[in-house]
Structure 1
């Protein structure tokens, strides 16, 4: 099969390439990213195209790349700059529109869209929902709003074209982690002046005791995507590891003492510190952590014969061990995090929360 993957050098993309490399099938793999990686390791067997989905010419460029593709896996998304939400919207929602239009024009057989638990509406915190739960998002989270809007684009496309259009599958995983993504995740989440090695040494974990979120390892997401492509499956698929991750689980992995701090108090603190440019994560991410529902993954288990191989606690331990080891991959998004580099770029190119390239 000829499989085109947008965002193929990121967290999920790297795991997907690893999964495809371990399969018996000899697929023709094409990667679409802003900054192509060096052709080593997981990235060696991929034909790379440098392309920014936020640009106006993206649809036309994608049309040529998608020509002859059996499947397009759309993973590309932006997480920074959190202060430039218009750019993030153009990357996520505008990029999805470009992918859908180009896939239709090229006659692609299947489109696999990476959605998220963040697309779901509030109202069932701590309870499992299936794929029929409303996908109206969390209003205070720009990430969640954009994921919801991207799914609306797919709804409109399917209503317009029906069975004559591209077969569309939507992956809705919980929060996704893996060891080699540690540097990339910490680059997005930690201010430049904080060493990532400080995270596993935290003596205290000030967090609301109510925390209960769906988490999943990147390897299990990659495996589910491959199964969807192999079966040419359609529709939405929740993906989550078991058990749901709690605050005490996080404290145990960190070997830290948990201290109850209500989310109602944490929210304003996160917002104020973000507005003061002391840290790069907007309040919407905390709101999602204490608003999104848990996920019922029965549909993926039944239709894809899929089940997670990592527990949620083991997945969290994997990424935390990665933080302690400064784990990384040989791609621009997952490269080794350097405090010196971050501080230099903060001074010369602007803060992470404002510049387009993290």
Structure 2
């Protein structure tokens, strides 16, 4: 099978390429803005900037002869440049869908997110029928919901839309540090937090990147269509996060915690937008029964273990072989800060 993967250099993309290499029977094309040179580990790389309106032609060339396209590409920073994030997430997704239709690709797998869902009403897990109107105060959520609407009106190849929880693995540690912490905070400080002020209602659906990659391959093998939730059975809560961090959990009113995050973000002290806090407090737990029943999928790693691996990866600045997953250090981040400005404003990191 000839499979083209957009966003192949990122967290989930690296796990998917790893999983596809295990099969050893696929021709894989990796699409990313910053790519390794030539053919690496059997993957042919193509550089495409999905933010560019003219990128559709390059995508058509990359998709020519493909049996399937897996669309993973998304931008998480610069958080202060929402227009750029939309041009990658929504505009880029639209161009991927258009190019898939032009290239007559047989199957498209779009990896959406739990973030596309409307806010929860209680603690019950929701299935794929839950509304996908997003959390309005989160640009990430709004953009994921906007792509869901694009898919609703799409007249092209059959599409599967996957809605995973937060996907994690140790090699994403440096990327998470880069996107979520001030540049002067060293990795080893991740486990040195004495207290964690978070509201009791915060819950986060999680899935290991390898489990998500396994689900994607199962979807490809079955040419499955429609929506699939993908998450480890029990979501992570504020007390669980504190325990993994070795910190004391302090039950804090959501408004107070959000206010502190928003002030530090607006003051350019840290790069994490307050919409991520709203997302963590608002999105529902996920019922993954459809994936279990129809794909035979079963996550091997529970949510707390995913969190532990992520925290461990962050504490040692875990990294991968691509530009997105490159190792992060205070020295390298300060150098990038002086050369290119803060990551929260940097349109071309």
Partner of 2:262: 271
Residue 85 of structure 1: aligned partner? 82
Cα pair distance change 1:12/1:88, threshold 3 Å: same
Residues 253-287 of structure 1, C-alpha deviation per residue, up to 9 Å, x if partnerless?
11211111121111111111100000001110000
Q: What is the match of residue 61 of structure 2?
A: 64
Q: Deviations over 1:122-147 (max 9, x none)?
A: 13342211101111001100000000
Paired with 1:301 and 1:100, the residues of 2 have a C-alpha distance of 27
Deviation string 1:145-172 (CA, Å, 9 cap, x unpaired) is 0000011111111xxx3xxx30100010
Superposition map of 1:3-18 within 5 A: 3-18=3-18
Contact 2:177–2:317 (CA under 8 A) maintained in structure 1: no
Q: Distance in 1 between matches of 2:329 and 2:245?
A: 22
Contact map agreement 2:176 2:314 (CA 8 A) in 1: no
Secondary structure at 2:282 match in 1? coil
Task: Give the 3-state SS of the residue equivalent to 2:109 in structure 1.
Answer: strand
Unaligned runs of 5+ in 2: none
- Cα root mean square deviation, aligned: 1.2
- Aligned equivalent of 2:98, options 95, 98, 101: 101
Residue of structure 2 in register with 1:37 after alignment = 36
Task: Give the superposition deviation at 1:15.
Answer: 0.6
SS in 2 for 1:4: strand
> Residues 4 and 69 of structure 2 are in contact (CA less than 8 Å); yes or no, is this contact kept in structure 1?
yes
Q: Of residues 284, 300, 303 in structure 1, which corresponds to 2:275?
A: 284
- Give the TM-score taking structure 1 as reference length: 0.95
Structure 1 runs of 4+ aligned residues shifted over 4 Å read none
Check the 8 A contact 2:187/2:316 in 1, yes or no: no
Whether the 8 Å contact between 2:37 and 2:45 is mirrored in structure 1 is no
SS in 1 for 2:175: helix
Question: Which residue is equivalent to 2:339?
Answer: 348
Which segment is superposed worse, 246-255 or 31-40? 31-40
Query: In the TM superposition, what whole-angstrom CA distance separates every residue of 1:204-241 from its partner, at most 9, and x where no partner exists?
Result: 11111222221111111101000000000000000111
The farther-off stretch of 172-181 and 340-349 is 340-349
Aligned to 1:175: 166
Aligned residues: 349
Q: Deviations over 1:82-116 (max 9, x none)?
A: 11111110000000000000000100010000100
Matched, 1:2 2:2: yes
> Which structure 2 residues correspond to residues 243-282 of structure 1 after superposition, within 5 A?
243-282=234-273
SS at match of 1:72: strand
- Tell me if structure 2 keeps the 8 A contact 1:35–1:332: yes
Q: Is the 8 A contact 2:79 2:344 kept in 1?
A: yes
Q: CA deviation at 1:38?
A: 5.2
| Contact 1:124–1:292 (CA under 8 A) maintained in structure 2 | no
Q: Comparing 101-110 with 334-343, which one deviates more in the overlay?
A: 334-343
- Aligned equivalents of 2:291 and 2:269: distance in 1? 40
Aligned counterpart, 2:300: 309
